[in-house]
Every structure is written in structure tokens, then in C-alpha cells.
Amino acid sequence: MSRFNGQVMVVTGAAQGIGRGVALAAAGEGAQLVLCDRSPLVHEVLAEVQASGALAIAVQADLETHQGAADLMAAAVEAFGRIDILVNNVGGTIWVQPYQEYAPEQVEAEIRRSLFPTLWCCHAALPHMLAQNKGAIVNVSSIATRGIYRIPYSAAKGGVNALTASLAMETAQSGIRINAVATGGTEAPPRKVPRNPKPLSEQEQLWYQAIVDQTRDSSLMHRYGTIDEQVRAILFLASPEASYITGTVLPVGGGDQG
């Protein structure tokens, strides 16, 4: 398949997990890639992508800031002259605990982590897409908008869903499609860079297991998905196959609608 021949795709959170999976799969379908992460591990993924023969660059940036997002899009345009597709993949809960246990600074950190990178990257990419009257954005959301023990993360992903729907209304007449994939529980290798490096306490382990149990129970298939199952949905929405789809949040959670 060559759905992305000649297309410039920016992938954020590309150093591991779903972001890495999107990068490798898109490279195999002809995309020219701009891989972004704040971890230097993104350069390892760059080497994998380039080994497959794809044109690609890597950018280290903190996308929780507008400047980081602006620098990323500027680097993409400098390298390739345009931005056709943006996959906003940065996010992920940092702490696992009942809402009343969160300190105020933890709530703010969760929102910065899982909402602001998508807000800022859309803001920074849109002028380039509007100038060419064409583009596709896929935001990675979560079915955790209905879930336990990570309420600030749930709220952030609810914001991603609202952004997706509203921004699609603003930009559809300009040739830009904006959709989201609400990922369900996903089996993945241990994170090379943990979101919370502090070991979980015994109580936190119990709360984490409760999330796992609730996620499986809420899925009609009663299982976690794979990275590939999430990647296929993301790339479908990014591709011309979804040319008449915009403003949609697609749950990919084995029947859990989020």
C-alpha cells in the first residue's frame, strides 16, 4: 500500500509506543516523516525509519509549550516545504489515584501533558494547512473519558474530543479534515521513559489494577488491543480512504465507546 506517497506527516510522541508504530507503518506507505518527541530516543526511531528508505527528520521539542509546537512545524516546513498530515499522539496519564488524592499541581500537570500538546500543535500547523487548502489532523484521544482513577487525564482527553469536533467545523470548508482516535487499553512494551518515574506504592498498585480491570470489563471483547490495531485506525483517518470523514471521534477499544 502507498496511501501516503509524497505526503509530509508530522508524528508527535514518536519515540515509543503508538507514535513509533505510526511512524514505521507510515514510512512503509511512502510518507515523508517529521518525528517529534522530547526524548532523545526519537533519534533511534528516526534511524529505523531511514533504514526502511523513507525520508525523515527528527525534532526534539517540548510540546507542552506553544514555542515547542511552533518550532516543530517550522522545522517540518523548512525540511519538506509543507505539512499534509499531523498525528497528535502526545499524552498519557502520569498518576493513578482517586480524584480527591490529586494535588493541585498534579491536576495541572496532567492537563498540560494530555491536552496542551494537541492544542498547540493544531494551532501551529493550521496556518500551513490553510495556506495550501488541504490537510488532515488525527488527534489521539482515549476511551478513558469514561474511566476511573485518572480524572484529570479523562478531562484532558475530553478536551481533545471537543477540540476535534469544533475545529473540524471551522476548517472543513478549507479542505482540512480533523478526526480523533479514542484508544482503548493497549498492550505495549514497558515504557523506556516512564511518565512517573517514582515506583508505585502498594496502594497505587491496587488503584492501577482497578484501572486495568475496569478497562477490560468495559470492552465488549474483554481484552486490551495491540499497538498495530491503534495504528491502523489512526492511519485510516489520516488517509484518502477517509476523505468524507471529519469531526469524528472513533473509539478503538473493543466496543468500549468511552
Active-site residues: which are they? 153
Side chain identity at residue 67, one-letter code? Q
CB count within 10 Å of CB 71 equals: 18
Cell 518550532 -> residue: 71
Per the document, the length of the chain is 258
Classify the C-alpha dihedral 204-206-209-214 as positive or negative: negative
Residue 134, helix vs strand vs coil: coil
Question: Roughly what angle, to the nearest 10 degrees, separates helices 17-28 and 227-238?
Answer: 60
What is the DSSP secondary structure assignment for residue 52, as one 8-state letter?
Answer: T
Cell numbers for 238: 489520516
Contact call for residues 171 and 126 (beta carbons, < 8 A): yes
Question: Under a CB-based contact definition with an 8 Å cutoff, are residues 150 and 95 in contact?
Answer: yes
CA-based R_g, the chain, Å: 17
The Cα 174–Cα 124 span in angstroms is 16
